[in-house]
Amino acid sequence: LDVSMDTWSYFHTCLVSIWLHRFYIYAAVAFGISLWIVIQFTTTRTKRKVSEDLLQELGADKLGNGCAPPQAQEAHVAGVKIFYGSQTGTAKRFAKALAEAVTSLDLPVEVINMGDYDPEDGLAEEASSRNICVFLVATYTEGQPPESAAWFCKWLEEAASDFRVGKSFLQGLRYAVFGLGNSAYVDHYNAVGRRMDRWLWMLSASRIMTRAEGDCNVAQSKHGSIEADFEAWKAKFLTQLQALCKGEKKPCSGKCKKGKCKSSGKQSKESSDHEHGTSEHENTEAEELFETSSEEEAGGTDSVIDVEDLGNVMGHMKKAKVLLLEGVWHALHGVNHPGCHLGSFVCQFFQAKLNCLMIFALFSGYKLIGSHSGVKLCRWTKSMLRGRGGCYKHTFYGIESHRCMEATPSLACANKCVFCWRHHTNPVGTEWRWKMDQPEVILQEAIENHQNMIKQFKGVSGVKAARLEEALAVKHCALSLVGEPIMYPHINCFVRLLHQRGISTFLVTNAQFPEEIRRLEPVTQLYVSVDASTKESLRRIDRPLFKDFWQRFLDSLKALAEKQQRTVYRLTLVKAWNVDELKAYADLISLGKPDFIEVKGVTYCGESSASSLTMANVPWHGEVVSFVQELARLLPEYGIACEHEHSNCLLLAHSKFQVDGEWRTWIDYGRFQELVREHERSGGSRTFTAAEYAARTPPWALFGARERGFDPLDVRFQRKNKARDISGC
């Protein structure tokens, strides 16, 4: 017992001593860890230095079995291409002066007017050409590019924010940007140069030097005039160019943080924009470059927004939250100020939130209309303008894609689908909560905005003049841009206005508003999205807001069966989510009795915190064909009519559209307009059916045709040396 007591006493003494001296122990441990970190850092740096020295001693020609290492390959310069966008001729003059200076270095040089260049075809090739691309671009009225550079800038902007274009689309392209502007116009000073620099970087192009800006305002110009600013930048550019030719310097890594560029082993201080209180022209070669990782900057590529506007966005959100909290406070405490009702504050909150979300949409290529509508130029419109083929609606129903306007009178939606191509940047809701714009105003502004976007293609390489002229007269309207168009309380009036202008209507609904479907007046073609065939899978995929979503879904399909005009089920296949429910899909089809069934593979929209989908969830076209063939075997009244391989899409049609062995899935648009006018003149008593305005489907659009749904009048464009992250339309 004495021995055990002595042992315990000894341990107790040790523990007490350790406790009393614990701070010394902590300090010793911290010192040891710090010393280990310093040793590791020093050792790594020494090894790297030795490796670099060894590379220089051996020479590039003796490494890699006679192949130059990657850095040496990057340093080699094949030539210089100078792109300019000029309104008054200054940028053009600078481009020629720079070309003369580059020629003196015995390097091939080419001066290119942005208005004569097709960036979609050319820039991708420059990524592997080992050329240096220089962009001299002026900022014109209200921060817009010169007319000659409008399409070039528009294409860059859309490519940078389009999920179909990979983030590494311009990887390998080395570039420098010199902007021309006037600091007297503080709100738009050198806006075009800044944006172009950012868009190129977002597409993984590499800067060889920091963007520079020339200032026409001699009082504020760093060197006294824009000519002097250019000469100073030109000297630095030529020095950097010579270094790259010799392999002495690497291009800017594009990993700059917090306004500091660490290229070439040194830091070049960068200033913030005018909006941050510092005159950017005081530090010409250094500005904030929005340097974060591409994932951080893009946040899902659709949510890019100018830093200049970020304060306004956050201000709107804060104001909305304050309004809501004040409204709740007054309601709970019985404060009876005029207009201080909880309902009104909630409405103001939702309106402010919608405004903020609309700002995000604005920077994704949308043209916003009023407080709840939008219009956007579809990529298939651009494709058909250039004779490169139309969308699947052209193949299935005969629309002219270059004359189609994609719009919506309601940005809001009642679902948060996992494959939403907007990454849920649009608002959601189960009822109308926003200030309502009149349908006449929405339509007029939608057409004007659409026409203005079309006009930007004038003079663009490859655009067919005849189609450009036709495109200015809108013939079709796809009410499927985003959100739930049928939520708009004046949707019937809006549809009538479209018909009065001779514009056909393709309206898409998410099957959550059955009564609105019943009240809807005739449209050219009414779609219902059938994204799943069981209650649980619909809950997982569409993530609807309504608690009674399944009953609403079924009632919407029943309402569709009551329609006499053309109706369509739109099935979006998501591999591992909804492709094994064939019998359940067949049951839903018997419930809604649609005229047509579109089956399409899901389009991968890029990474997003709002969705867990990956490219693994995108079915191959062969898998979509197999699904449709199996589904057709369960539906004796339907047959496979059409295919559009490029959109990963097929069309099942009811047998009543097969007349004398020929499919009649196309639409006689002139006949439809006649029928709908008779319907309106009769006050709705004169009804008509889908069969009355059906037209013969051309052989090239049929399933099994050699063309696989591609119009032989157009030429299919295959991108050189670049694969696009794209599936579907």
User: Which of 16-20, 160-164, 652-656 has the least mean pLDDT?
Assistant: 160-164
Q: 260 with 268: CB under 8 angstroms?
A: yes
User: Which of 501-505, 563-567, 715-719 has the least mean pLDDT?
Assistant: 715-719
Q: Is the pLDDT of residue 70 over 70?
A: no
Give the pLDDT confidence score for residue 77 in this predicted structure: 87
Residue 684 is assigned to a structural domain of this protein:
yes
Q: What is the mean pLDDT of residues 51-56?
A: 51
Q: What crossing angle do the helices spanning 621-633 and 582-592 adopt, rounded to 10°?
A: 60
Residue 366 is assigned to a structural domain of this protein:
no
Give the pLDDT confidence score for residue 245 in this predicted structure: 86
pLDDT tens across 313-339, in order? 444 444 444 444 444 444 444 444 444
The three state secondary structure string of 305-370 is CCHHHHHHHHHHHHHHHHHHHHHHHHHHHCCCCCCCCHHHHHHHHHHHHHHHHHHHHHCCCCEEEC
Q: 494 with 408: CB under 8 angstroms?
A: no
Give 696's DSSP letter: P
**Tokens read off for 672:** 């439809």
Q: Which of 24-33, 57-66, 651-660 has the highest mean pLDDT?
A: 651-660
Q: Is the pLDDT of residue 649 over 90?
A: yes
- Please say which residue of 245, 263, 294 terminates a domain: 245
Residue corresponding to tokens 């504020």: 220
Alpha-carbon distances, residue 614 vs 166, 209, 317, 576, 650 (angstroms): 14, 35, 31, 11, 22
Give 619's DSSP letter: P
pLDDT tens across 666-688, in order? 999 999 999 999 999 999 899 99
Could you tell me the CATH number of the domain that includes residue 218?
3.40.50.360
pLDDT tens across 346-390, in order? 455 444 444 544 444 444 566 888 888 889 888 889 899 999 999
Residue 271 — very low, low, confident or very high, per pLDDT cuts 50/70/90?
very low
Structurally, the chain folds into a number of domains equal to 2
Q: Is the pLDDT of residue 285 over 70?
A: no
Q: Which residue has the higher pLDDT, 541 or 228?
A: 228
CB-based burial label for 40 (10 Å; 0-12, 13-18, 19+):
exposed
Q: Is the pLDDT of residue 564 over 90?
A: yes
Calpha distance 316→310 (Å, rounded): 10
Q: What is the mean pLDDT of residues 527-532?
A: 88
For a pLDDT cut of 70, what percent of the chain falls above it?
72
- Please say which residue of 245, 270, 295 terminates a domain: 245
Q: Which residue has the higher pLDDT, 542 or 103?
A: 103
Q: What is the mean pLDDT of residues 552-567?
A: 95
> Strand, helix or coil at 114?
helix
pLDDT tens across 437-491, in order? 999 999 999 999 999 999 988 888 789 999 999 999 999 999 987 778 998 999 9
Give the pLDDT confidence score for residue 12 in this predicted structure: 78
Per-chain mean pLDDT for the chain: 78
> Strand, helix or coil at 600?
strand
Give the pLDDT confidence score for residue 63 in this predicted structure: 34
Calpha distance 516→488 (Å, rounded): 10
Could you tell me the CATH number of the domain that includes residue 446?
3.20.20.70
Calpha distance 595→638 (Å, rounded): 9
Q: Which residues contact 140 (CB under 8 A, 6 or more apart)?
A: 87, 146, 147, 192
Question: Max CA-CA distance within the chain?
Answer: 114
H/E run at residue 526 = strand 525-529
Residue 643 — very low, low, confident or very high, per pLDDT cuts 50/70/90?
very high
Residue 615 — very low, low, confident or very high, per pLDDT cuts 50/70/90?
low
Residue 611 — very low, low, confident or very high, per pLDDT cuts 50/70/90?
low
- Please say which residue of 228, 245, 262 terminates a domain: 245
Residue 340 is assigned to a structural domain of this protein:
no
What is the number of alpha carbons within 13 Å of residue 657 lying toward its C-beta? 30
Closest Cα partner for 568 from 532, 517, 529, 516?
529
What's at 195, amino acid-wise? R
What's at 711, amino acid-wise? D
Q: Is the pLDDT of residue 275 over 90?
A: no
Residue 281 — very low, low, confident or very high, per pLDDT cuts 50/70/90?
very low
Q: What is the mean pLDDT of residues 564-589?
A: 86
Residues in the chain: 729
User: Which of 296-305, 458-467, 507-516 has the least mean pLDDT?
Assistant: 296-305
Residue 564 is assigned to a structural domain of this protein:
yes
Calpha distance 229→223 (Å, rounded): 5
Residue 236 is assigned to a structural domain of this protein:
yes
Calpha distance 508→481 (Å, rounded): 9
Q: Which residue has the higher pLDDT, 366 or 269?
A: 366
Residue 260 is assigned to a structural domain of this protein:
no
Residue 40 is assigned to a structural domain of this protein:
no
Please give the residue range of the domain that contains residue 117.
Answer: 79-245
- Check residue 684 and give left, alpha or beta (phi > 0: left; psi -120 to 50: alpha): left
Q: Is the pLDDT of residue 550 over 60?
A: yes
Residue 34 is assigned to a structural domain of this protein:
no
Give the pLDDT confidence score for residue 66 in this predicted structure: 36
CB-based burial label for 574 (10 Å; 0-12, 13-18, 19+):
buried
List, in sequence order, every residue forming a beta bridge with 79; answer none if it has no partner.
131
Q: What is the mean pLDDT of residues 499-517?
A: 94
